[in-house]
Structures are given as C-alpha cells and as structure tokens.
Amino acid sequence: MTLRRGVTAASVAVLAAVWAISAYLLWQTTVPSSLHLPHVDTAATFSHAVLHRAQSYDHFASLLGVLGLLLSVAVFAVYAWWGPGFVRESAAGPLGTGMLLGMLGFGLLWLAEVPFTLLGIWWDRRHHVSHESYWKAVLGGWLVLGFAFALLCAALLIVMGLARLVGDWWWLLAAPVFVGLVALFAFGSPYLEPTHPILDPRLAATVGALERRAHTGHVPVRVEDVSGSMPNAVTEGIGPSRRVVLWDTLLDGRFTPGEVKVVIAHELGHAKRQHVLKSIGWYALFAFPGAWIISRVTRRRGGMGEPAAVPLALLTLVVLELLALPIQNAITRHMEAEADWRALQTTRDPKDAQSLFEKFVPITLEDPAPPTWEYLLGENHPTIDQRIAMVRAWRARYATSASAAQLP
C-alpha cells in the first residue's frame, strides 16, 4: 500500500511539473517585462457624459452576464437532483438515455435564459449598440441550441462509451480526444463563415504592407457582413485556414484608415504569435484536470458510464467553468495585450492607436476602468485605460523613431 501511494504521489508530482512548465511556456510574451504602464486619468481623457453613458451601459450588461452564469449553475443544480428520475422512464439504453438527459438539461437552461437574452437585446437597442431583432435572437437561439445538442451528444457518446470500456480511467483517453476536436473545429470553422475579400484597393495595399512589417507571411484578410452589431475583428484558423476577418461595422466610416490599420495589425499580431494554437494549448491544460474532477465527482452516481451521472456531470462542468473564468480571462487579456504591443511595433503609430481605443468608449460603450468584479469575471481584453497606458509607454520608449517609420 505504501509503495502504491508513493508511485501515485510521484506520478502526480511529475504531471504537476509538466503542467507548470507547459503553462510557463504558453505564457511567454514579446511584451517587455520591464514595461511600466503609466497611470491614465480617465476623467481627463473622456468627458463626463461619455463616461456616465458607458458605465451605465457596461455595468448592467456585465451584471446580466454574471447573473447568466449563476443561473446556469442554479438550473443544473436543480437538474442534478431531479434529472436522474428520467432514467427509469427511458427505454433508449444507457448511451441513448445519457444523451437524452444531456439534451434535456441544455434545453431547460435555454428556456431559463430566454428572459435574460431578451433583456440584453432591449438594453443594447436602448443604447443603440445593436439593432438585432427579438425574433431573430430567439430563432437564432434555436439554431444555436440545435448545434449545442449535436456537440453535446457527440461528447457524451465519447465519454460514456469510454467509461463503459475502461471505467474511471475514461478521462485520460477522453481529454486528448476533445483537444483534437477543438483543434479540428478551429481549423475548419473559418471555411463555414460567409465572408468576402476587401474591396477597397487602398486598404488591400495597406494589408500587404502590414504583412511585410509584421513578418507573418500571407494571411488572408476578409470582411464579414454582420449588419447592426458592434465593430470587431477576429483572427481564426490554423495553418492553411488561418485568416483575419473584419466585421463590416469596422469599415462603415466611423473609424479612420489609420485606426483600421491598427486593428488589422493587432489581428496580424495574433497570427504571428500563434494565439489560436496557444488557446488550444491552454484548453488542453484545463481539459485533463477538469475531466479527472468530473470522473471523481460522478462516481457517486455510478460513474460516467451510467446515464444517471449525466446531470451531475453537467453541474460539475458549469461550476468548473465558473471557477476557471477569472483565470481564462487573465490568459486572454495577456494575449490581447501582446497583440496590442505587436500592432504598435508593426505600425509605429501611437496616435492612431490611442484614438482607436478612445473611440471604443463612445461607440461600444465599454467602461474604460471597470470595477474589479467586472474586470475579473467579464473582461477578456485589457481595459481601455490599460490599452491607452500601453500606447503611452510605447511612445515613451520609441518616440524619436516612431514618426519616421510610420506606415503611410
């Protein structure tokens, strides 16, 4: 018994060391460790009216998000107690019953979230942030729910099938399968989105110049028509599917060509630093311990090979996601800050970078200095104040050479 405990302790120590080393390597950044972000006087940067409107909108929107997270925990907590009763009434077999229980749980959560969804749309429309219709949101929610059902059934089929084959060790096999599926989705999802090439020849020429400056090689930059949503841009894909997608709301005239250039350079910074692949790496680091915890918790219901364990597994999953949210936000903010730095290094244009970030406040109604609870639970980007501070820190380092090397 002592030998077995020693082997177990040594195995845990080795796995913990591998996890820590992997996390350290993924955390590495090109932002200088000695960079000091100066204090930004929010009240002096933005007018009182703009600040008041942004704070009013952002705090309520963030509160809705937090309440939505708590609602998911509450719904699955009730379902974990009530759901196993359906096992006795099902004739679909263990795997079929498990999938039915999973879909029922997600269906109940979707129904509970409908009021929050409608309230969020009302709040966005009231502040002219979005013009999405209520019916479109509800019907779109049905489509999202259907897609979630398909993914959930596939996940439960994998987990329950492995659990019935290898018992409590299913997590060791399932975690790499899910990492592979996440990587496959990251590779294939760009091909599923309706986008079109940049039509403005001057903007297309700017993209080429930015690619040369950023040393990314050719990264297709395309445009997606989102009609009525907030301005945004994303970097997607892996290898040959890698691309930058600009939302058409970014090109509707509210932002200058120089500001759009900073956005594109930011996205190319994500591509250069392989942030999509790093995100998959971070997912893998959380997938293994998360799957192990689910396997331990669901033992009281017979393990994941039994359909009665599915509601408890769903509850455990959402609790783990809630607990990990501050860490995941910190990781994403870290990568976004690096993309901001890469954009400054590529464009050498602090003036347009600062004006871009300042415009985000009146246009997207983002609070430039949110309270701590909102920062930890809801902010997956650096705050506007932090982004402006980075611009000023960069200017302090490179002011003498910035204007001469600026892109046209």
Long-range contacts of 93-96 (CB under 8 A, 24+ apart): 94/160, 94/164, 94/305, 94/306, 94/307, 95/156, 95/157, 95/160, 95/161, 95/307
Query: What are 316-330's pLDDT values in tens digits?
Result: 999 999 999 999 999
Q: How far is the CA of 89 from the CAs of 102, 148, 191, 230, 308, in angstroms?
A: 15, 24, 42, 47, 12
Query: What is residue 247's three-state secondary structure?
Result: strand
Position 90 in a domain: yes
Q: Confidence class of residue 5 from pLDDT cuts 50, 70 and 90?
A: confident
* 32, part of any domain: no
Does 403 have pLDDT greater than 70? no
Q: Does 228 fall in a domain?
A: no
pLDDT of residue 48: 95
What pLDDT, on the 0 to 100 scale, is given for residue 367?
95
Query: What mean pLDDT comes out for the span 287-312?
Result: 94
Q: Is residue 245 part of a domain?
A: no
pLDDT band at 307 (very low <50, low <70, confident <90, very high): very high
**Which amino acid is it at 60?**
F
In a domain, 113, yes or no: yes
Residue span of the structural domain in which 318 resides:
49-196+261-400
Q: Which helix (H) or strand (E) holds 224?
A: strand 221-224
Q: Quick one: tokens of 7?
A: 């082997």
Would you list the DSSP string of 324-378? HHHHHHHHHHHHHHHHHHHHHHHH--HHHHHHHHHHHHHHH---SS--HHHHHHH
Q: Tell me the pLDDT band of 1, cut-offs 50, 70 and 90.
A: low
Q: Report the number of distinct structural domains present in the chain.
A: 1
Tell me the average pLDDT of the chain: 91
Q: pLDDT of 66-124, one tens digit each?
A: 999 999 999 999 999 998 888 777 777 889 999 999 999 999 998 898 899 899 999 99
Residue 367: inside a domain, yes or no?
yes
Is residue 325 situated within a structural domain? Answer: yes
Beta strands 243-247 and 233-236 are antiparallel
